């Protein structure tokens, strides 16, 4: 008795690599793994950041506190910390969270869990954004340090005014601002979350003021 021939197997089709680009409202297709400055548009950034909520949306009020509004606040704080800051470095501060128009605003605890991959993607996007708007791919260390300090002040204000943190808890996590709004520099702002279109317009207006 002869055995039946083994049926031939057709070769498995090659699996396609996962899509790594996002289509923007401008029509640009931004590659997340190899972003080109030519695919970066400020309208896309402003539109996206105005719709990304800080604190995963866990804030008070009828609107989320957007990354666009946060960016405006951080730029203002940085200027109070360092009066006379050059316009291009003010622009760098304004754009410090710009990659989040693509990758969203992940809270710090989750960033720590994800680790290096997130940071690598964020760094490539930031370099492309900087180059697109006439900034060096990496800004000087002193500007990075200033931005982080201003960001912590903003986080404290947002945490205590909008996100339900007590002053002591926020002070432990972000440090309590000292001197930034004292004396002639004024009192801390009362944070009122803007609707998305208002935040987008305010961000674009500040960008226009600071761009070359």
In a domain, 8, yes or no: no
In a domain, 5, yes or no: no
Q: Calculate what percentage of the chain has a pLDDT beyond 90.
A: 73
Tally of domains within the chain: 1
In a domain, 27, yes or no: no
Structure confidence at residue 185 (pLDDT): 58
In a domain, 16, yes or no: no
pLDDT tens for each residue of 151-183: 999 999 999 999 999 999 999 999 998 888 865
In a domain, 143, yes or no: yes
Which CATH number does the domain housing residue 74 bear? 1.10.3210.10
In a domain, 18, yes or no: no
- When comparing pLDDT for 121 and 42, which is higher? 42
Task: Give residue 93's domain range.
Answer: 33-209
pLDDT tens for each residue of 54-73: 999 999 999 999 999 999 99
- When comparing pLDDT for 162 and 16, which is higher? 162
pLDDT tens for each residue of 181-201: 865 557 889 999 999 999 999
Structure confidence at residue 178 (pLDDT): 83
In a domain, 50, yes or no: yes
Determine the straight-line distance between the first and last CA of the chain, rounded to whole angstroms. Answer: 86
| Cβ atoms within 10 Å, residue 151 | 20
The rounded Cα 135 to chain-centroid distance in angstroms is 17
- Write the CB contacts of 163 (distance below 8 Å, at least 6 apart in sequence): 55, 58, 59, 60
pLDDT tens for each residue of 80-135: 999 999 999 999 999 999 999 999 877 666 666 666 677 888 999 999 999 999 99
In the block, tokens 């960016």 appear at: 71
From CA 102, how far away is CA 98, in angstroms rounded? 8
Has residue 16 got a pLDDT over 90? no
- Whole-structure pTM value: 0.86
* Residue 80 near residue 131, CB atoms below 8 Å: no
What is the rounded (10 degree) CA torsion for 88, 53, 24, 92?
10
In a domain, 56, yes or no: yes
Structure confidence at residue 75 (pLDDT): 98
Structure confidence at residue 67 (pLDDT): 98
Check residue 53 and report its DSSP letter. Answer: B
């Amino acid at each position: 008795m002869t055995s039946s021939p083994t049926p031939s197997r057709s070769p498995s089709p090659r699996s396609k690599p996962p899509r790594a680009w996002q289509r923007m409202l401008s029509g640009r297709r931004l590659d997340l793994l190899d972003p080109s400055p030519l695919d970066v548009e400020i309208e896309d950034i402003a539109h996206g950041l105005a719709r990304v909520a800080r604190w995963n949306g866990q804030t008070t009020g009828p609107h989320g506190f957007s990354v666009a509004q946060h960016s405006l606040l951080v730029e203002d704080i940085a200027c109070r910390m360092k009066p006379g800051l050059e316009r291009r470095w003010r622009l760098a501060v304004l754009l410090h969270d710009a990659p989040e128009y693509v990758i969203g605003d992940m809270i710090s605890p989750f960033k720590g869990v994800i680790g290096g991959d997130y940071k690598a993607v964020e760094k490539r996007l930031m370099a492309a954004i900087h180059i697109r708007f006439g900034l060096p791919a990496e800004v000087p260390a002193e500007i990075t340090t200033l931005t982080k300090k201003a960001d912590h002040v903003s986080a404290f204000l947002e945490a205590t005014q909008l996100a339900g943190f007590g002053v002591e808890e926020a002070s432990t996590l972000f440090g309590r601002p000292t001197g930034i709004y004292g004396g002639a520099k004024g009192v801390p702002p009362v944070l009122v979350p803007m609707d998305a279109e208002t935040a987008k317009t305010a961000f674009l207006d500040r960008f226009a003021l600071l761009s070359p």
